[in-house]
Chain A
Amino acid sequence: MTIDTRTPVSLSVRDVHLSFGANRVLRGVDLDVARGATACVIGPSGSGKSTLLRTINRLIEPDRGDVLLDGRSVLRDDPDALRQRVGMVFQQFNLFPHMSVLRNITLALRRLRKLGEDEAVAVARTHLELVGLSAKADARPAHLSGGQQQRVAIARALALQPQVMLFDEATSALDPELVKGVLKLMAELSAGGMTMVVVTHEMGFAREVADTVAFMDHGVVIEVGAPGAIFEQARHPRLRRFLSQVL
């Protein structure tokens, strides 16, 4: 299956810094993702990977540096409008538990995209079909398995036709047997030409799907390259040590 996306854009992160008090979480991060490419960000816990994603869609404002979509800085844009262009999927899904699956998707379509009820429902159903969950439209998220919830979360983000998708450890909260379905969907999305930044501990996914893999530690990208170069010919000792522990 191939997933159609709105015209994807390239993404560049330039020298992004961020501190929480004395804690320097990001210390000059650079990352380039070509249009329609998938970058996987790997690294130990606490290395700043998730925070980096949040500076890209400005859920957290960087202290300095720049984020560019198709070469244009987005730091002066309206952050809410930016987030409609940059979809995000979270480790804990963050579906709204008081709404049905369908309404989880139509809410933003109606309120932000200003679609009519019928059109919003049609778009939502199309995306639910895309993730194989048409039958769950009327269910509450709590009645779905973790894997199904994450696929709904992906459908919710995709329904807004983002130009970039950010995945923050999208499978880390799932039981092992549920991971496969979500990774498959992400791989299809990648194959469909979506620009994606994927923070993941799934090294197999990074190796198979990513165009670029970036290794982060202590708030900086230490090594970046094609999956083959990162996994087979790692240069930096910290990356080699990390890979020896996770592979």
Chain B
Amino acid sequence: MDPLSTLWETFFDWDSMRAALPEMLTVGLPNTLILAVSAALLGSVLGMLLAIAGISRTRWLRWPARVYTDVFRGLPAAATILLIGVGLAPLGMQVWGPNPYPLGILALSLIAAAYIGEIFRSGIQSVEAAQLEGARALGFSWGEAMRLVIIPQGIRRVLPAWVNQLIALIKDSSLVYFLGLVASQRELFRIGQDYAATTGNESALLLAGLFYLTLTVPLTHVVNWIDRRLRHGRPATAPVGDSDDLDPVLPDPRGGTPR
């Protein structure tokens, strides 16, 4: 058999794919989404707390945030998932019973938070100090100014980077299989791997890969679209009666707005 045919049969065996498809759809996809969405939410909340701690004037907040970020960014994701999933398993057993999901989600969230915290921090710090001064001059407290003016601008500036991290999270969700999942808990990758192991054909893994792509590629484009919308806002209305002033600096608001 020539190598090309072997390659084709190894990865593009439609029967193998058809066999794996129902389980991928009904078990793998929901589990991957549960893991990724839960970890994205928790990781983003923790990341925002880390970002705020990271820019705090208090070293007792800044330093722990720094150490946390260095540790969780520095460890391999698989090692962190194993350390937390296995290390905290006795504790998890008491709280959630024999379900590795909560610890898997926790581990993914803790890893994501380290990266998302840095993304948010860089976004917040990129907002000009004059914005804070402008908000404070109106009478907003530091907290209100941050919440209403600075953080929303900072997050908008790093939306694409944040989504990159969410994409990484979707892919990293496959690592929870280290924790030992029962059949109904398997995510996309694990199901693909199981089919590959039992049939000796990799097509189910390729199918799992296609599922990942259908999740991640549209996400990138959706966020780029949102990013463009947020950046440009609504088009300017036609000038009326501004005889003592000139009109827009940007004649075409869709043509690329400087921040």
A145 in contact with B249 given A59-B133, A90-B130, A95-B134 (CB within 8 Å): yes
- The answer to whether A140 and B134 have CB atoms under 8 Å apart is no
A111 in contact with B148 given A147-B246, A184-B244 (CB within 8 Å): yes
CA of A114 to CA of B235, assembled, Å: 29
B58 contacts the other chain (CB 8 A): no
A84 contacts the other chain (CB 8 A): yes
Please, how many residues of chain A have a CB less than 8 angstroms from a CB on the other chain? 48
- The answer to whether A148 and B134 have CB atoms under 8 Å apart is no
Nearest-neighbour CB distance to chain A for B241, whole angstroms, equals 7
A178 in contact with B245 given A80-B141, A111-B144 (CB within 8 Å): yes
Instruction: Kindly report which residue of chain A lies nearest to residue B157, judged by CB atoms.
Output: A98
Nearest-neighbour CB distance to chain B for A148, whole angstroms, equals 6
Please, how many residues of chain B have a CB less than 8 angstroms from a CB on the other chain? 40
CA of A83 to CA of B141, assembled, Å: 10
User: Which residues of the partner chain B approach A34 to less than 8 Å between Cβ atoms?
Assistant: none
Chain B 232-259, CB within 8 Å of chain A: the 1/0 string? Answer: 1111111111101111111001000111
CA of A108 to CA of B137, assembled, Å: 11
A22 contacts the other chain (CB 8 A): no
CA of A100 to CA of B246, assembled, Å: 19
- The answer to whether B139 and A142 have CB atoms under 8 Å apart is no
B74 contacts the other chain (CB 8 A): no
A-B contact pairs, 13 of them (CB 8 A): A87-B137, A94-B131, A94-B137, A96-B149, A97-B153, A108-B140, A111-B144, A112-B139, A136-B236, A139-B233, A140-B234, A144-B248, A178-B246
Known contacts A135-B242, A181-B245; can you find 5 more A-B pairs with CB under 8 A?
Answer: A84-B139, A98-B152, A112-B138, A139-B233, A148-B242
Instruction: Please give the residue numbers on chain A whose beta carbons come within 8 Å of chain B beta carbons, in ascending order.
Output: 57, 59, 80-84, 87-88, 90, 92-98, 100, 107-108, 111-112, 132-140, 142-148, 151, 156-157, 160, 175, 177-178, 180-181, 184
